[in-house]
Structure 1
Amino acid sequence: MKDFMFEAEKGDSGTLDGRGLTIGIVQARFNASITEALAQACRSELIALGVAPEDIDLVQVPGALEVPLALQALAERDRYDALIALGCIIRGETYHFELVANESGAGVSRVALDYQIPIANAILTTENLAQAEARQTEKGRDAARVAVEMARLLERLA
């Protein structure tokens, strides 16, 4: 049995190298102040990693439940090296939180597996607005790093 151990592809600065990658982002508008901050941090990090601004496409959808369908439409274009899902689901007083969190997460995973494309899932699921605000910037950056690392990993595994 052969083990596959690949380090993320590094650029000259020793960081992840996003040069030449094309990334699609799907952003839910619900809880817009959070998702705008996620998108800003994600886009800034992608550019810092070397992804050209013109190679980053952003699509907005109403909420987290609509994210997987938009991801699927982007994946079908066969243009992207990786995709990113951005959204924010804050617990309320009803079962709706669980429904949206579970179904959006399952949908994101299904698209990734069906289309064999890396998808960084940064749909926040929090108890309250303060928790979402505390995570919005770092999770946006994390999503960018995951997308670049996984795109490079799949290139090497191909």
Structure 2
Amino acid sequence: MQNADKGTAASPLDGKELRIGIVQARFNESITNALAAACRETLLDLGVQAEHITQVSVPGALEVPLALMALAERDEFDALIALGCIIRGETYHFELVANESGAGVSRVGLDYGIPIANAILTTENLDQAVARQTEKGRDAAYVAVEMANLLGGLAA
């Protein structure tokens, strides 16, 4: 992850002109609420105006790509962010949800030419999810702002 705080981004990240859409899965809601809080706080720290952040929620990770697509079709966002948490259980369902949600997020970004920061956590257990919830929420904000600026510069 590249960001201004770590001194590795090509230039300081500036989100003041950006419009960002966030889709948050409610499944494992305590984790996704923490992801969303860290993400929003970081977006604001990067200069994104609160009124330029649109957040919607969906039942789970499999529904995230469809909501991302609906936001992308509005053609008013510079970047989107996917937030969710999938914790391995005892069945194959974990792999299905992780693979399909990830593929769907990528497909929306490529089909609509919009950067999407994918912060759908895939962990072995709740402890791993809790350990990652804040950092990955912040990372998603950095990725969204950096990629929006990059693509905006390439289009100019």
> Where does structure 2 lack aligned partners over 5 or more consecutive residues?
1-8
Equivalent position amino acid for 1:107 in 2: G
Q: Distance in 1 between matches of 2:61 and 2:113?
A: 21
Whether 1:105 and 2:102 are equivalent positions in the alignment is yes
Per the alignment, in what secondary structure is the counterpart of residue 85 of structure 1?
A: strand
**Counterpart among 131, 139, 142 of residue 139 in structure 2:** 142
**Counterpart among 59, 66, 75 of residue 63 in structure 2:** 66
- The alignment's C-alpha RMSD in Å is 0.8
Per the alignment, in what secondary structure is the counterpart of residue 109 of structure 1?
A: helix
Q: What residue in structure 1 maps to residue 14 of structure 2? A: 17
Whether 1:50 and 2:50 are equivalent positions in the alignment is no
Change (3 A) 1:9 1:55: farther
Q: What residue in structure 2 maps to residue 115 of structure 1? A: 112
Equivalent position amino acid for 2:68 in 1: L
> Where does structure 1 lack aligned partners over 5 or more consecutive residues?
1-6, 11-15
TM-score by length of 1: 0.92
Q: Which runs of 4+ in 1 moved over 3 A?
A: none
Q: What residue in structure 1 maps to residue 27 of structure 2? A: 30
Deviation at 1:56, TM superposition (A): 0.3
Whether 1:91 and 2:88 are equivalent positions in the alignment is yes
Matches within 5 A, 1:145-156: 145-156=142-153
Equivalent position amino acid for 2:31 in 1: I
